[in-house]
Structure 1
């Protein structure tokens, strides 16, 4: 008798899975309240106020903040702690806000509990590397100890490495930085900053550094309009105002200055603003014995035109308004050019005083 195959009894196993989406979660966390606790929104808004433009940079900072914030929430739910790499590289021209972003990043990391103190220390090669044997290690160690619990920004970091100089001790400082980046990464964030191309060569020469830098952020140069906005903001902070024609002269100044070497974006704008305020003070002191509110705050073209940058690129003519003409329903002002010997028009002795007012008009050589 042939043995019959035993029939297989099929049983369906039903898994009753309840997708609660937080309804029955034993623990709930209010994200908005947690943002207030860690001051996330406050810090990001402060960064946005401090910096004009730089949309790509702000987006990267928001992304880094988001993953750190999410990591804190995961820990509150009992999930495993993941410590993301926080060492960074900031590349770009001078005056593009690298130090400001580093300061806000230190503040964010302290609020989130990744740093104990949250201070920003900015150094260069001279602060880390000594000229004689045996002096670099204690010098670098001292900087690292002061930076613990915060952010250490090394400006123009590529100067640390000089491969063609056998007597250079920059390599010793780099070795100490590598050790700290690995062993003290829970209480110290290093940011290497400098021009883009030299920084690429620096990382290629030091692969150990490159592998430990998790975030590479490029800072673009400011546009013409953004530089003007920065200038206006700086003037407003000092309670000064750019007149309409002064704004036109300022834009021309930017066009000329950006073409010259060593232009430092917002840093150069700050210097321009300071010099304009100095010239206003000197002008008002020499022109009048009575101060008015307008004279104390109004930046005129004259306060910008005296820059040495305009000596070859601009001719200045005092001109007198002599009337108006209507053409094609447009009102146009007619000016008569007056000969002069000095920058400020002065009535010559023996001639009757003119009743018309003298207006300074600025004409560039390449003006068509």
Structure 2
């Protein structure tokens, strides 16, 4: 029996994409048809429409919804057909390099990260040109390590890098597979290697992104499962280096221990990119970006209050303050408070009222959760 949870997720994500694009886009209707009788034609239609939308609206918000809906379809239907359709979607939704460079450039802050990614693209383009002209090319691997605190856009940049490598012909598919320790480690001895192989095969042609990679080896002296995982993963890094990018990410210090846990592991990674914490102005910029992307307006007084609030959190520098993620949580809280305030209004609620934040919508004494 398929869990109702996946049905609700599919409907919810589809409705949110409709709201993002305009109610006439019809994704919620298609989701309802898929759930009603597992309509294969509706599923195909949804995949096709997702691909078209990705080309028409090349924004990070649309991409995130696209990927979430594809994941919901996979979990709900649980069939190889969805995987094939997802791979087809990756082909359909491929963007040219210029559009992806714009996506990267539109991200708030990350000046050094953006330059590092541009340099990587330039390097690989020149190596491809050398090869076409019968010259030797560099054999640097494409695998990377992203180092930094939570909420510094490591996952977002990893997705863009994968699509860029697809756009310039370094990857055959460009899909993005996100994994954690639970996706790599099996319950029984000897099964971890099989689990890693399956995940690697699913990611081949695209990006395998492992967040908090150090969790694989955090119990190194007693965790034979973690060592088994790392041995198999290290082998895959070399075997499939021509059509697979593995990006490992996490806090800087634990990641250094991770690389020391297996001989030869660090040598498989040629690129190490550090993600700095956001400044207060960049955090405010993320808030304003979320406002613009979701059709909200914050005037100068609201922005000043948000900035003061975030500055206090930065001054505390508590461990649960997770940079951009915390700003988005704060944004969600403000949206909730605005909704509650408007629900108590007497009389007609105008479009301007629906769009506008006021000072009382900004929480006063909220402790930001990471």
TM-score (norm 2): 0.70
| 1:62 equivalent in alignment to 2:122 | no
Taking the aligned partners of 2:122 and 2:218, their CA distance within structure 1 comes to: 38
Where structure 1 has 5 or more consecutive residues not aligned to the other structure, the ranges are: 1-37, 311-368
| 1:248 equivalent in alignment to 2:304 | yes
Taking the aligned partners of 1:105 and 1:143, their CA distance within structure 2 comes to: 20
1:78 Cα offset (Å): 2.4
Report the counterpart of residue 157 of structure 1 in structure 2.
213
Map of 1:228-307 to 2, 5 A cutoff?
228-258=284-314, 259=316, 260-307=318-365
2:220–2:226 contact (8 Å) kept in structure 1: no
1:249–1:305 contact (8 Å) kept in structure 2: no
1:131–1:168 contact (8 Å) kept in structure 2: no
Deviations 1:6-29 (Å, cap 9, x if unpaired)? xxxxxxxxxxxxxxxxxxxxxxxx
1:218 Cα offset (Å): 0.2
> Taking structure 1 as reference, are residues 122 and 189 closer, same or farther at Cα in structure 2, changes over 3 Å only?
same
Deviations 1:297-321 (Å, cap 9, x if unpaired)? 11111111355349xxxxxxxxxxx
Query: Which 10-residue stretch deviates more, 190-199 or 38-47?
Result: 38-47
Report the counterpart of residue 111 of structure 1 in structure 2.
167
Report the counterpart of residue 79 of structure 1 in structure 2.
135
Moved runs in structure 1, 4+ residues, more than 6 A? Answer: none
| 1:39 equivalent in alignment to 2:96 | yes
**1:175 alignment partner, one of 231, 246, 249:** 231
> Taking structure 1 as reference, are residues 153 and 216 closer, same or farther at Cα in structure 2, changes over 3 Å only?
same
1:290 Cα offset (Å): 1.8
Where structure 2 has 5 or more consecutive residues not aligned to the other structure, the ranges are: 1-94
> Taking structure 1 as reference, are residues 247 and 187 closer, same or farther at Cα in structure 2, changes over 3 Å only?
same
Larger radius of gyration: 1
Deviations 1:19-49 (Å, cap 9, x if unpaired)? xxxxxxxxxxxxxxxxxxx933332122111
Report the counterpart of residue 321 of structure 1 in structure 2.
none
1:256–1:309 contact (8 Å) kept in structure 2: no
1:135 Cα offset (Å): 2.4
Report the counterpart of residue 191 of structure 1 in structure 2.
247
Question: CA-atom RMSD, angstroms?
Answer: 1.9
Taking the aligned partners of 2:125 and 2:363, their CA distance within structure 1 comes to: 50
Q: Secondary structure at the match of 2:177?
A: strand
Query: Which 10-residue stretch deviates more, 160-169 or 117-126?
Result: 160-169
Deviations 1:116-175 (Å, cap 9, x if unpaired)? 111111111111012321221222122111101101111001111134552540110100
Taking the aligned partners of 2:364 and 2:343, their CA distance within structure 1 comes to: 16
Taking the aligned partners of 1:224 and 1:144, their CA distance within structure 2 comes to: 39
Q: Secondary structure at the match of 1:122?
A: strand
> Taking structure 1 as reference, are residues 291 and 88 closer, same or farther at Cα in structure 2, changes over 3 Å only?
same
How many pairs were matched up? 273
Taking the aligned partners of 1:83 and 1:138, their CA distance within structure 2 comes to: 28
1:181 Cα offset (Å): 0.7
> Taking structure 1 as reference, are residues 163 and 276 closer, same or farther at Cα in structure 2, changes over 3 Å only?
closer
Report the counterpart of residue 215 of structure 1 in structure 2.
271
1:286 Cα offset (Å): 0.8
Report the counterpart of residue 343 of structure 1 in structure 2.
none
Larger proportion of strand:
1
Deviations 1:189-231 (Å, cap 9, x if unpaired)? 1111000011111112223111111000000001000010110
Deviations 1:97-123 (Å, cap 9, x if unpaired)? 111111111111112221111111111
TM-score (norm 1): 0.70
Report the counterpart of residue 181 of structure 2 in structure 1.
125
Taking the aligned partners of 1:97 and 1:308, their CA distance within structure 2 comes to: 23
Taking the aligned partners of 1:83 and 1:108, their CA distance within structure 2 comes to: 19
